[in-house]
Chain A
């Protein structure tokens, strides 16, 4: 503890040097932009900038400070378009749209954006504290998660679908399973055998999640807004920043999402999208205003945004102490470090303390910068949706196409996006909820992979799922949750609180 503090102090002496501050600021700024633009995720942004950075500075600390800034900065920026125009900037921001966009429609875009920034800051900082004091032991803990444990975790997460399904659990399950099925298209990630590709080379590489998400949310929204033939009116914005009661209301959600995000962020097999879903559903069980979730709950926004920020710093724990990347962006960062001849792994803390602690300290600094950068932007962004919808809609369409294309430089993905937009619109008219679809897309591959890997480990014996206490715990929670929901249903009182229009 004390040693960590003195090391951290040393880290701050590096992170507060003018050069480091400059790199942290550039990283935070670029990250925010990356988050705002759909299609360009932090992984591709870091990859694009890596060669540029590598030629501009020979100091791995400066470079990493900036690249890390892009990563967590993107999590701040991702909420912007999610809240304003229903385009999730990153898959992790899908959950933010559920409440954020509803708030924007009610004229509370500014408040939602500010809450997103504030909860990101506090949950993010909480998570960096975890990284500072407990990194090596926590990394060892994360290693306990193998295929059977992931299967337990993912099964539990899958039961969340019930909460996201609104009034009709059946429709929710249908959507979740459709999402699951879509993820099976393409080469099987374990055997490389093509599935559901019908001989097409395009389908061989699978259906990318970004175009589906952008299509279903952004395009679907444009289509339903066109429906009435009248102008869509967002309610007038009367207040930009949250008041004291609102801040108090989100404080619990922020802290809880910080913990959930940090711990799940440690796990190499848990994606950012999954983490946001789990944190959101977790928060719903604690919240005093459950009935508002999905209709514009500020704590819903706080949970989603707080958790994805906390997860980014959580991911640095296994990266720095074991050399294990938990997210695509961190994998890119890892290869970036190797260009500098650095090797993240068990020796990094010992051999390169300046590097490790300089970067960790810069994350505290970077988060403060992001808060300062994002809060004044709230006014600017919020004014954007005051633009008449007949000008806004084409812009949204342009950005959606760019986002879908940019994810893989592929025209096929644009077609997928447009098709999903139309399908999403029709399904929403029939009251099929969209959130479970995305949940299926996010969890499907992890659920399937961990299940099959566990069975190859055990030689096809199901006993492996009951041999691990971690897996047993998760599976038990999953069973209880299903039983509880069935009981509620049987009582004929489908929980109105869980009604979710998106």
Chain B
């Protein structure tokens, strides 16, 4: 039996619950909500594990964006299936601006390989905020002094030089396949689950070459353990000014990964503008730039309009290289 004291408690809880339900129901009309967007915290889905470079750079940017918005941004990590799980869910979110999502290059890989129901243009973008080139790296005692040495050897003895990349079809492997196609060289690809494992494999001498982002390379290059043969960016990287770009070497390949923030399609334009402005301001914040510089996030800005144009132009290239490599079904 309920004692009197207990009854009072139960009654109180029920009352609060009912009040809460009513309050939630009277959330006001949609229009009113949009005008003073945002009125409540915004959820930011990050499709990668907490603590990685993708996660940290996104959180760093969000920290400054929430100051502009006046509402907290809560990052939620939902990793798995190369981002596909999180993107499939984010695309279904209500397009009211309260669910935003971080998108990386991998969305195009997933789409081109037919391994994800989500397409890159299912989202509308707020900005691109990083651009990470890849590098071709050997140990300093390697016989390959330049990229040409390597490619010549790859042509003379096709399929014998071991090159470590991340999983087949991913951007690291794509960069390698593009160079193979342009030069006619053929390599023996040894895939590893992630960038750190790729780096370890070259350090231990279990492969001859690695294709990797620049994140983990600095100290090994400074120490004289590694030599960077080439980078895949448009211009030379300020971190390795001695390493030529593929373009300089005569290969028409620019291949960089990116990070961007997006909202589901059909988000009202005024909401999108509020978000996009806030994130752009956050990007230009001096403190963010300093943090990014120190942590080597490779920041790079493209506006929503420029970015979607960039993606539309880039996607066919991804499709082509994967088809060429025989990975596309």
Give me the interface of A with B, judged by CB distance under 8 Å: 43-44, 46-48, 50-51, 143-147, 186-192, 194, 201-202, 204-206, 268-269, 322-325, 328, 331-332, 335-336, 338-341, 343-348, 408-410, 449, 453, 456-457, 459
Known: A322-B203, A339-B295. A453 touches B219 (CB 8 A): no
Closest Cβ neighbor of A44 among chain B residues: B50
B117 within 8 A of A: yes
Known: A268-B197, A344-B219. A331 touches B52 (CB 8 A): yes
Give me the interface of B with A, judged by CB distance under 8 Å: 49-53, 55-56, 59, 63, 76-82, 84-85, 88, 113, 115, 117, 159-160, 162, 167-170, 188-193, 196-197, 199-201, 203-207, 215-216, 218-220, 222-223, 225, 291, 294-296
Across the interface, which residues of A come within 8 angstroms of B55, CB to CB? 47
**18 A-B pairs in the complex with CB atoms less than 8 angstroms apart:** A43-B49, A50-B51, A144-B204, A147-B190, A187-B81, A194-B115, A201-B85, A205-B79, A205-B81, A332-B51, A335-B51, A338-B53, A341-B294, A344-B219, A345-B220, A346-B223, A453-B190, A457-B206
Shortest distance between the CB of A330 and any CB in chain B (Å): 10
Question: B56, B80, B169, B189: which contacts A408 (Cβ < 8 A)?
Answer: B80
Task: Evaluate contact between A409 and B117: CB separation under 8 angstroms.
Answer: no
In angstroms, Cα B168 to Cα A87, docked, is 37
Across the interface, which residues of B come within 8 angstroms of A341, CB to CB? 294-295
Question: A190, A338, A457: which contacts B168 (Cβ < 8 A)?
Answer: A190
In angstroms, Cα B23 to Cα A164, docked, is 57
Question: B59, B117, B225: which contacts A346 (Cβ < 8 A)?
Answer: B225
Shortest distance between the CB of A154 and any CB in chain B (Å): 15
Across the interface, which residues of B come within 8 angstroms of A145, CB to CB? 204
In angstroms, Cα B222 to Cα A348, docked, is 11
Across the interface, which residues of A come within 8 angstroms of B167, CB to CB? 188-192
Closest Cβ neighbor of B327 among chain A residues: A191
Task: Evaluate contact between A204 and B50: CB separation under 8 angstroms.
Answer: no
Across the interface, which residues of B come within 8 angstroms of A325, CB to CB? 196
Question: A146, A187, A322: which contacts B206 (Cβ < 8 A)?
Answer: A146
List 12 other contacts, CB 8 Å, given A206-B80, A346-B225, A459-B188.
A44-B50, A146-B206, A191-B191, A192-B115, A205-B80, A268-B196, A345-B218, A345-B223, A408-B78, A453-B190, A456-B190, A459-B159
Task: Evaluate contact between A323 and B216: CB separation under 8 angstroms.
Answer: yes
Across the interface, which residues of B come within 8 angstroms of A346, CB to CB? 219-220, 223, 225
Closest Cβ neighbor of A205 among chain B residues: B80
Closest Cβ neighbor of B224 among chain A residues: A346
Across the interface, which residues of A come within 8 angstroms of B223, CB to CB? 345-347
Task: Evaluate contact between A347 and B219: CB separation under 8 angstroms.
Answer: yes
Across the interface, which residues of B come within 8 angstroms of A457, CB to CB? 162, 188, 190, 206-207
User: Which of B193, B197, B206 has the largest number of chain A CB atoms within 10 A?
Assistant: B206
Task: Evaluate contact between A186 and B51: CB separation under 8 angstroms.
Answer: no
Closest Cβ neighbor of A189 among chain B residues: B193
Known: A47-B51, A339-B294. A146 touches B81 (CB 8 A): no
In angstroms, Cα B80 to Cα A188, docked, is 12
Across the interface, which residues of B come within 8 angstroms of A205, CB to CB? 79-81, 84-85
Task: Evaluate contact between A456 and B81: CB separation under 8 angstroms.
Answer: no
In angstroms, Cα B174 to Cα A256, docked, is 46
Question: A48, A453, A459: which contacts B191 (Cβ < 8 A)?
Answer: A453
Closest Cβ neighbor of B201 among chain A residues: A146
User: Which of A43, A192, A335, A408 has the largest number of chain B CB atoms within 10 A?
Assistant: A192
- Which 6 pairs from chain A and chain B are nearest by CB? A205-B80, A345-B219, A332-B51, A47-B50, A146-B206, A47-B51
Task: Evaluate contact between A340 and B115: CB separation under 8 angstroms.
Answer: no
In angstroms, Cα B192 to Cα A335, docked, is 20
Across the interface, which residues of A come within 8 angstroms of B115, CB to CB? 187, 192, 194, 204
Across the interface, which residues of B come within 8 angstroms of A324, CB to CB? 196, 199-200, 203
Task: Evaluate contact between B295 and A190: CB separation under 8 angstroms.
Answer: no
Task: Evaluate contact between A202 and B51: CB separation under 8 angstroms.
Answer: no
Across the interface, which residues of B come within 8 angstroms of A188, CB to CB? 167
User: Which of B160, B196, B291 has the largest number of chain A CB atoms within 10 A?
Assistant: B196
Task: Evaluate contact between A323 and B63: CB separation under 8 angstroms.
Answer: no
Shortest distance between the CB of B144 and any CB in chain A (Å): 18
In angstroms, Cα B200 to Cα A107, docked, is 47
Task: Evaluate contact between B203 and A201: CB separation under 8 angstroms.
Answer: no
Known: A192-B113, A456-B189. A408 touches B79 (CB 8 A): yes
Shortest distance between the CB of B275 and any CB in chain A (Å): 21
In angstroms, Cα B193 to Cα A331, docked, is 14
In angstroms, Cα B117 to Cα A194, docked, is 13
Question: B78, B159, B191, B291: which contacts A409 (Cβ < 8 A)?
Answer: B78
User: Which of A194, A202, A332, A453 has the largest number of chain B CB atoms within 10 A?
Assistant: A453
Shortest distance between the CB of B292 and any CB in chain A (Å): 10
Task: Evaluate contact between A456 and B191: CB separation under 8 angstroms.
Answer: yes
Across the interface, which residues of B come within 8 angstroms of A194, CB to CB? 115
Task: Evaluate contact between B88 and A192: CB separation under 8 angstroms.
Answer: no
In angstroms, Cα B222 to Cα A346, docked, is 9
Across the interface, which residues of A come within 8 angstroms of B50, CB to CB? 43-44, 47-48, 332
User: Which of B76, B80, B189, B193 has the largest number of chain A CB atoms within 10 A?
Assistant: B80
Closest Cβ neighbor of A148 among chain B residues: B206
In angstroms, Cα B59 to Cα A194, docked, is 30
Closest Cβ neighbor of B225 among chain A residues: A346
Known: A345-B220, A459-B160. A331 touches B51 (CB 8 A): yes
Across the interface, which residues of A come within 8 angstroms of B197, CB to CB? 268-269
Closest Cβ neighbor of B329 among chain A residues: A193
In angstroms, Cα B207 to Cα A146, docked, is 9
Question: B77, B78, B80: which contacts A204 (Cβ < 8 A)?
Answer: B80
Across the interface, which residues of A come within 8 angstroms of B170, CB to CB? 192
Across the interface, which residues of B come within 8 angstroms of A336, CB to CB? 51
Task: Evaluate contact between A201 and B169: CB separation under 8 angstroms.
Answer: no
Across the interface, which residues of B come within 8 angstroms of A191, CB to CB? 167-169, 191
Closest Cβ neighbor of A340 among chain B residues: B294
Across the interface, which residues of A come within 8 angstroms of B191, CB to CB? 190-191, 453, 456
